């Protein structure tokens, strides 16, 4: 298994797999995170998955008494190296499928259609067709980076970001599509709006979407 380990801070360390956006590598990241959560080291705070890497946050004070020589960072590095990577690749994941209803009425819809020389119906067809994968959570609480956008819809971010993008806005940025879980400034091209609740700290799982989920957009 090829990977590289780098300290992020004196309280966190990252493990990078091959830097490629692929379901296989992202599966490996999630399996490794699962292993870490089931076999936490002393001083473990949390593990954060990304596209093709994971980061472990830890408490120096709790690990210090265990150290005979070397740094605490090296101790955590050894722990990461002890993950049985070869066994992890055998794990099968059952993706959760989440359907998200979208009203395709976004403020950038017309300009995007014009740029792509397609009509609104064609855009809806292209956007609702794929199964999208949640590759990573970040940017905002409950915000999912979705991969799998049809290349025909790929569009750079707006030159001038909006000061306020309303909660529930569905947008496109480069080869990604995503939903704003809360109102925030943002530069994504807005194509629609959903009533789905993406983030609520009072919900049991807090976020509608989670790493590894499959997302399908439906018109309505």
Which residues lie near another protein (CB under 8 A)?
6-12, 14, 16, 19-21, 33, 45-55, 57, 60-61, 64, 71-74, 136-145, 181-182, 184, 199, 201, 206-207, 210-211
Beta strand ranges found along 28-95 (DSSP E): 44-49, 53-58
Report the nearest approach of another protein to the CB of residue 113 (Å).
27
Report the nearest approach of another protein to the CB of residue 54 (Å).
8
Report the nearest approach of another protein to the CB of residue 219 (Å).
26
Nearby residues of 180 by Cβ (< 8 Å), 6 or more positions away: 140, 143, 165, 166, 167, 168, 169, 171, 186, 188, 198
Q: Which is nearer to another protein, 71 or 111 (CB)?
A: 71
Q: Which is nearer to another protein, 58 or 104 (CB)?
A: 58
Report the nearest approach of another protein to the CB of residue 131 (Å).
21
Q: Which is nearer to another protein, 98 or 182 (CB)?
A: 182
Sheet containing 144-147: which strands, arranged edge to edge?
97-102, 214-219, 132-137, 144-147, 176-179, 169-173, 189-193
Report the nearest approach of another protein to the CB of residue 15 (Å).
10
DSSP H helices in 97-197? 109-116, 120-128
Return the bridge partners of 99, or none.
216
Q: Which is nearer to another protein, 7 or 128 (CB)?
A: 7
């Amino acid at each position: 298994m090829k990977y590289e380990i780098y300290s992020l801070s004196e309280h966190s360390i990252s493990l990078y797999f091959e830097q490629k956006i692929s379901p296989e590598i992202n599966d490996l990241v999630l399996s490794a995170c699962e292993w870490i959560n089931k076999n936490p080291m002393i001083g473990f705070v949390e593990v954060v998955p990304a596209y093709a890497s994971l980061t472990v946050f830890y408490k120096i004070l709790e690990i210090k008494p265990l150290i005979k020589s070397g740094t605490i960072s090296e101790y955590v590095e050894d722990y990461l190296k002890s993950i049985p990577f070869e066994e992890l690749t055998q794990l099968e994941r059952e993706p959760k499928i989440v359907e998200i209803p979208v009203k395709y009425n976004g403020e950038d819809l017309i300009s995007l259609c014009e740029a792509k020389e397609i009509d609104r119906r064609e855009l809806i067809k292209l956007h609702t067709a794929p199964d999208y994968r949640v590759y990573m959570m970040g940017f905002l609480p409950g915000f999912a980076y979705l991969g799998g956008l049809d290349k025909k819809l790929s569009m750079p971010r707006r030159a001038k970001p909006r000061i306020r993008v309303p909660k529930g806005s569905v947008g496109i940025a480069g080869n990604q599509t995503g939903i704003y879980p809360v109102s925030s400034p943002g530069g994504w091209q807005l194509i629609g709006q959903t009533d789905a609740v993406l983030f609520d700290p009072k919900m049991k799982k807090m976020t509608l979407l989670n790493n590894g989920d499959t997302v399908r957009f439906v018109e309505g």
